């Protein structure tokens, strides 16, 4: 059999930076061929691909809006054409806008929900149709669903929706030998998390876990690697990857 039919293949949305890039690089290290999806930053996606290729892996970049079903259908087509199929889909693409409910900008709410809810749903829909037996779908929530910090209500609402669709999809794929789980990171040192926070706030959040540090993208990628590979008996779950945050 050719390499295109024997190598496991992963598609990572939002794979050009932050957690997404760490996940792409980790899955490539695990031996998967990797497709790095990007929305607007083609150059960063190609940097991720170049880094994976330089390390001996196989990768390509695919563009498109995760909330656009035609764009995502085309992206999945491109990955299947290049690598022969898809085994793992990881939805790291997301945006975060913070603010209290009383004054929250509803246009920002709509933008965030379009990417975080509709985008995850569109990609999960394609994954449910195409992922091969033995595969895995990994969506992204947040530990703030449980910690309920002020100013996170709109973001948490979008991620709670992701948890709901993830757990339901796991049951819908009965008999397909496909796991569906969500990862809920705690405070993690990414541009998405750090943007707009002062040093005192970051220091306080870093001290919140027993490890007294922020998580790293690589910490989260390790959990995704587990779910994408050996974790065949972990299904329909939300894994809180947060270093022991209460």
Check if 155 is active-site: yes
Whether 38 contacts 72, CB under 8 Å: no
Whether 39 contacts 60, CB under 8 Å: no
Residues 148 and 153: their CA atoms lie apart, in Å, by 8
Backbone angles phi, psi at 24, to 5 degrees: -60, -45
Strands of 88-91's sheet in order across: 59-63, 33-38, 9-13, 88-91, 136-140, 179-185, 238-241
Residues 29 and 221: their CA atoms lie apart, in Å, by 11
Q: What is the gyration radius of the CA atoms in the chain, in angstroms?
A: 17
Q: How far is CA 208 from CA 18, 199, 214, 215, in A?
A: 21, 14, 9, 11
Of the residues 38, 152, 155, 240, only one is catalytic, namely: 155
Residues 6+ apart with CB under 8 A from 145: 156, 159, 160, 163, 184
Residue numbers annotated as active site: 155
């Amino acid at each position: 059999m050719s390499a295109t039919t024997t190598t496991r293949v992963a598609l990572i949305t939002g794979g050009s930076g932050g957690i997404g890039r760490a996940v792409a690089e980790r899955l490539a290290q695990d031996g998967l061929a990797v497709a790095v999806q990007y929305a607007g930053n083609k150059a960063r996606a190609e940097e991720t691909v170049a880094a994976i290729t330089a390390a001996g892996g196989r990768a390509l970049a695919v563009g498109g809006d995760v909330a656009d079903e035609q764009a995502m259908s085309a992206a999945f087509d491109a990955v299947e054409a290049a690598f022969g199929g898809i085994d793992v889909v990881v939805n790291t693409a997301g945006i975060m806008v913070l603010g209290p409910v009383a004054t929250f900008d509803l246009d920002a709410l709509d933008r965030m929900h379009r990417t975080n809810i509709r985008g995850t749903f569109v990609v999960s829909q394609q994954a449910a149709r195409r992922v091969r037996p033995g595969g895995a779908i990994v969506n992204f929530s947040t530990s703030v669903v449980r910690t309920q910090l002020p100013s996170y209500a709109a973001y948490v609402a979008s991620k709670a929706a992701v948890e709901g669709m993830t757990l339901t999809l796991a049951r819908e794929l009965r008999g397909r030998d496909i796991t569906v789980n969500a990862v809920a990171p705690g405070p993690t040192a990414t541009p998405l998390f750090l943007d707009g926070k002062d040093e005192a706030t970051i220091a306080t959040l870093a001290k919140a876990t027993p490890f007294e540090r922020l998580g790293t993208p690589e910490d989260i990628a390790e959990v995704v690697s587990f779910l994408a590979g050996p974790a065949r008996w972990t299904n329909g779950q939300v894994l809180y990857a947060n270093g022991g945050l209460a």
